[in-house]
Amino acid sequence: MTDPVHTLAVEGITVGYDDRVVVHDMTLEIAPGAVTAIVGANGCGKSTLLRAMARLLRARTGRVLLDGTPIDAMPSREVATVLGLLPQAPVCPEGIAVADLVGRGRYPHQGWFRRWTAQDDAVVEQALVATDILDLADRPVDELSGGQRQRVWIAMALAQQTDVLLLDEPTTFLDVAHQVDVLDLLVDLNRDRGTTIVMVLHDLNLAARYADQLVALTDGRLYAQGDPSDVVTEQMVRDVFGMAARVVPDPVSGTPLVLPMGRHRTGRGAQRTDDAGATVPPVELPAAQPVP
């Protein structure tokens, strides 16, 4: 996109529900034009952070800055033309057609009196093409599979045409092939349109592989932020997920690959990390294939 790249940052925000603080005094800058993944244990406040960044929750202290302006001071509709959000569990209206649901992403671009235009049709169609669901355009969303449905929601976010896109666990409930599919699609979007992507991801290995920047949280605090190879270490997995693991280079992508170690079924490789934490060469693996 030719638009200037937008910046998103949080400055010392504290966010919570009722009398409970979930995110503590967090400061964070999202890398513009990059793919950022937020990782952390269940309940550590990933969704809460994302919701605060999308001004769904008001910060008790601190502020969220979009292009340097406090987001609370901006008109909602204006924010929605720059910053899109795909929540964890959006509700699908009964019987709605795919194209109509995707068309709801056009809402922020329509004023009180501006009606639907040919331009909106074109944007929706492009979003359907990008997510490869144009052939489903007139089908009711309720009849689609989980993977197809997730694409519909992503298409809706695309139709919103925002330069920053926040996604909360876009791959949950999908099988591994569809997970990779969705992540590839998001990287396409990032590469082709320069969209800044911030996503909460469950799978640490996919996060390390697909993200340019990793943000690791523990108990509502920032643990580390940076290049996945710097952030994902055995120490980090222990501190963030409370689990022993070995970290080896991913033979496919070269990014860190986390091999969890539970109490059972850990053999030779596991014992060798116990002494002194020295880097242990990975178990022999077939040579990495370049990914097409």
Partner 1 sequence: MTAVLDAAPGTGAVVARGRRARARRRRAVLLVLVLAVVVVAVVALCVGERTYAPTQVLRVLLGEQVPGASFNVGVLRAPRVLTGVLVGLAFGMGGVVFQTMLRNPLASPDIIGVSAGSSAAAVVAITMFGLSGAALSLVAVVAGLGVAGAIYALSWRSGVQGARLVLIGIAVGAMLDSVIGYAMTRAGIYDANEALRWLTGSLNSAFWLGVGPLAAALALLLPALLLLARRLPALQLGDDAAAGLGVSPDRSRLALLLVAVAAIAVATAATGPIAFVAFLSGPIAHRLLRGTGTLLVPAALVGALLVLTADLVGQHLLVHRFPVGVVTGVLGAPYLLWLLARTNRSGGSL
Ligand X SMILES: Nc1ncnc2c1ncn2[C@@H]1O[C@H](COP(=O)(O)OP(=O)(O)O)[C@@H](O)[C@H]1O
CB of 221 to ligand X, least distance (A): 12
68 CB-near residues (< 8 Å, 6+ apart): 7
Select the binding partner of residue 93 from ligand X, partner 1, Mg ion, none (C-beta < 5 to 8 A, by kind).
partner 1
According to DSSP, residue 138 is labeled T
**Is residue 112 close enough to count as binding ligand X by CB under 6 A?**
no
> Among 8, 10, 48, 207, which residue interacts with ligand X (rule: CB under 6 A)?
48
CB of 116 to partner 1, least distance (A): 8
**Is residue 45 close enough to count as binding ligand X by CB under 6 A?**
yes
Which spans in 111-145 are helix H?
A: 118-130
Gap between the Cα atoms of 244 and 263, Å rounded: 10
Question: What is the Cβ-side half-sphere exposure of residue 72, based on CA atoms within 13 angstroms?
Answer: 12
Q: Which is nearer to Mg ion, 46 or 209 (CB)?
A: 46
CB of 50 to ligand X, least distance (A): 8
Rounded to the nearest 10 degrees, what angle do helices 118-130 and 146-159 cross at?
A: 140
**Is residue 60 close enough to count as binding ligand X by CB under 6 A?**
no
Gap between the Cα atoms of 152 and 173, Å rounded: 15
Q: Which is nearer to Mg ion, 2 or 42 (CB)?
A: 42
Select the binding partner of residue 42 from ligand X, partner 1, Mg ion, none (C-beta < 5 to 8 A, by kind).
ligand X
Specify the 3-state DSSP secondary structure of 139.
coil
Gap between the Cα atoms of 248 and 235, Å rounded: 13
CB of 288 to Mg ion, least distance (A): 32
CB of 88 to Mg ion, least distance (A): 6
CB of 217 to ligand X, least distance (A): 7
The conformational region for residue 183 under phi > 0 = left, psi -120 to 50 = alpha, else beta, is: alpha
**Strand-pair category, 8-17 with 61-66:** antiparallel
**Binding residues vs partner 1 (CB under 8 A):** 17-18, 51, 54-56, 76-81, 83-97, 99-100, 103-105, 107-108, 112, 116, 118-126, 128-132, 134, 137-138, 140, 160, 166, 181, 184-185, 188-189, 192-193
Instruction: State which H helix or E strand residue 259 sits in.
Output: strand 256-260
**Is residue 22 close enough to count as binding ligand X by CB under 6 A?**
yes
**Is residue 6 close enough to count as binding ligand X by CB under 6 A?**
no
Residues forming the site for ligand X (CB under 6 A) = 17, 22, 40, 42-48
